[in-house]
Homo-oligomer: A and B are copies of this chain.
Amino acid sequence: MSPIPSSLRPFFTPAGVAVIGASATPGKLGYGVIANLIKSGYQGPIYPINPRADEILGLPAYPDISSAPDPVELAVIIIPAPAIPDALRACGQRGVRAAAILSGGFAEVGPEGEARQQEILDIARTYDMRLVGPNGVGVLNPHSGLNTTFIEQIPEPGDIAFLSQSGALGGALIDWARGQHIGLSYFASLGNAADVTETDLIQALADDPNTRVITAYIESIHDGPRFMATARQVAARTPIVALKVGGTQEGARAVASHTASIGGSDEAYGAAFKQTGVIRARSVQELFDTAIALAYQQPPAGLRVAILTNAGGPAAVAADALARNGLHAPEPDEDARQALRRALGPAPQLFNPIDMLGAASSPEYETAARILLQSDAYDAVLAILVPNTANDPVGVADALARASADAAKPIYACYMGDVSIREGRQHLHHHRIPVYDFPENAARAMANARRWQVVRESPPAAPPAPDLAPYMPFARAIEEMAAQGRETMGEVELYPLLEQAGFPLPPWHAAYAKAEAEAFARVYPGPFALKVLSPDILHKSDVGGVALNVTAKRVGKMYWQVQARVRRRARKAGLQGVIIQQMAQPGAEVIIGMSRDAVFGPMIMFGGGGVYVEALRDVSFRIAPIGEEDARAMIAETVAGRLLMRGARGRKPGDVDALARLIVQVAALALSAPQLGEFELNPVIVHPAGKGVTVVDARAALFRK
């Protein structure tokens, strides 16, 4: 691997660290940072900067950064926010390459802070400096002994990197890692991420020889498209595991008050992670648990897990949990069964769980684990131990390690309890066997490891660049309307533009008089749909404004009737006539939609159609651009799509090819017209394979600031 990019290297292995705001008073942050740098074993020079001190913790102090001797590559800044711009300028003049700003008082505190954040960013750009923070706890590299945080102790060197938009979560992880003797390769607290973002560090860590897995706590991605491009390149070589918070209204409010982040929608994050191969953790514990699974062992090459246990209950819990996470626990094949029987005697149950009963010995665990790790029937082993007077958790840990050392497959452990298995757990961590408190946690982590193996085998490809030419007339029209300050557009404007862009609409006509509707019905075969034409009515069917299956001879009568019905329910609406439209041939109803996410841009939605199904949220999302393969995956992710693909009772398989092309068209349309805020084709009728799709209705809204 190539090294860390040069502009970020001072955050990993700086030659010389100055601490601006160093303090000689124990208990002060400026004291703690100096103490940590010394204690963590940082080998370069440390320069406390403090105009009122001669020395701090035995190190000579300097009144300002300009008087500190060479080399100074990194400045750690912990002075009050108002003084920081000047200090940063001095750093720039002194030739400092990088600054970690721990102080708060920037974008997270309102407009004044926002201005100050912009100011320090401008200063950094002027002097070609990089910034981590402000409003974070800095960075920590156990391999180089760099620790700019006031987190009390440095974790052991290891191969898990953690990027956090919460310094505290980093503190919690580090405290946990120390207790479990888990090693970290790197920790960065991004704070407000004024300059260096999670994306920069993901890129840098992909090339860090010490890092085997990148974990991240994310409140908000700062540049959605760049994040996606970077993650897509990195995720297949170094796994990225992310916890995204703020998915609920309550969580989003908490995030906004914390690091001034404005998040995109949870669906958009889900789609972006899926499209780039980022593994999504659903809880802090799952983040930590998945990290050790990926750091310690090769991921499973398949879904088949052998459960080796000394306790039936926990094994039953594990079997349930594996199945709920998409993994399997098949019975051993005849070879494995015979080998196990020879090794273990008649007592154990060999169905999977392989239950060796309470007193199972370390040699039994080792032999059985070897057999299962060698068996063609399995891709991974989960070894469960419950402590009792007859067994030896430490001995079993060492036995599993011996079995693992010769194996090409991963093994995971679940040690249940507390006091009796603490030491055994530490041995497992030492041997790099991932160990979990509960079977459910193990199953989730194993499933995530398996997900990464799939990413590794089939790295997410960048979607083909769409040809936007067919959509340019549409895009220009939207741009003009936006320039006029318009927010919506009616069918009479929208439908011709869509036809021009190649969307499959049925024959239609805007009839401002009864005779026009009747004339249309003489040209096209029926039956017809009539929809009231009014700029004032959003949901036509709610006010009786739609008539379906109208025969040619009733078109004239229904022309009036539809408008009369609406008049009774919406007295003030302006009625202009009807849109008459040829009814589509039968097929399944689906919806394709687009909304514009604050972080990731145009997000495409596919789902089943009809009021009922909308309420069930049987939908799938992707960030544009997408290719037909993505569109097919979206279809396959929904129940509606799967029914279409295989054909439901009494109905042939639908034209999935045409549907996938239509989804891709919607994505391209969204990219062509940045002012298009929302767009929905609802319903789209999917005809049998080879017969295409029909867009029955469409709706568009311009982007609102």
Interfacial residues, chain A to chain B (CB-CB below 8 A): 27, 29, 32, 150-152, 164-169, 171-172, 174-180, 217, 219, 243, 245-251, 253-255, 257-259, 283-285, 307, 310-324, 328-329, 349, 351-353, 355, 358, 386-390, 416-422, 437-441, 539, 541-542, 544, 608, 611-613, 615-616, 618, 639-640, 642-643, 648-651
Give the CA-CA distance A650 to B441 in the complex, in Å.
46
Task: Report B-chain residues with C-beta under 8 Å of the C-beta of A318.
Answer: 254
B250 and A151 contact, CB distance less than 8 A: no
B175 and A417 contact, CB distance less than 8 A: yes
A175 and B320 contact, CB distance less than 8 A: no
Interface of A is mostly: helix
A648 and B283 contact, CB distance less than 8 A: no
A419 and B311 contact, CB distance less than 8 A: no
B175 and A285 contact, CB distance less than 8 A: no
* A612: contacting residue among B32, B152, B419, B639, CB under 8 A: B639
* A166: contacting residue among B314, B387, B608, CB under 8 A: B314
* A176: contacting residue among B150, B178, B351, B418, CB under 8 A: B418
Task: Report B-chain residues with C-beta under 8 Å of the C-beta of A615.
Answer: 639, 642-643, 648
Give the CA-CA distance A165 to B180 in the complex, in Å.
31
Give the CA-CA distance A342 to B346 in the complex, in Å.
72
B539 and A649 contact, CB distance less than 8 A: yes
Instruction: Given the known inter-chain contacts A247-B320, A389-B32, A438-B285, please indicate yes or no for A643 contacting B171, CB distance below 8 A.
Output: no
Give the CA-CA distance A310 to B137 in the complex, in Å.
14
Number of copies: 2
9 contacts between A and B (CB under 8 A): A168-B358, A169-B313, A172-B416, A175-B386, A254-B312, A284-B440, A542-B649, A611-B651, A612-B613
Closest chain B residue to A248, Cβ basis: B323
B648 and A166 contact, CB distance less than 8 A: no
CB proximity of A296 to chain B, nearest CB, Å: 18
Task: Report B-chain residues with C-beta under 8 Å of the C-beta of A172.
Answer: 311, 314, 386-387, 416-417
A176 and B417 contact, CB distance less than 8 A: yes
A284 and B388 contact, CB distance less than 8 A: no
A324 and B386 contact, CB distance less than 8 A: no
Task: Report B-chain residues with C-beta under 8 Å of the C-beta of A27.
Answer: 390
Instruction: Given the known inter-chain contacts A253-B351, A541-B650, please indicate yes or no for A259 contacting B169, CB distance below 8 A.
Output: no
Instruction: Given the known inter-chain contacts A245-B320, A615-B639, please indicate yes or no for A258 contacting B171, CB distance below 8 A.
Output: no
B284 and A180 contact, CB distance less than 8 A: no
Task: Report B-chain residues with C-beta under 8 Å of the C-beta of A165.
Answer: 313
Give the CA-CA distance A219 to B317 in the complex, in Å.
10
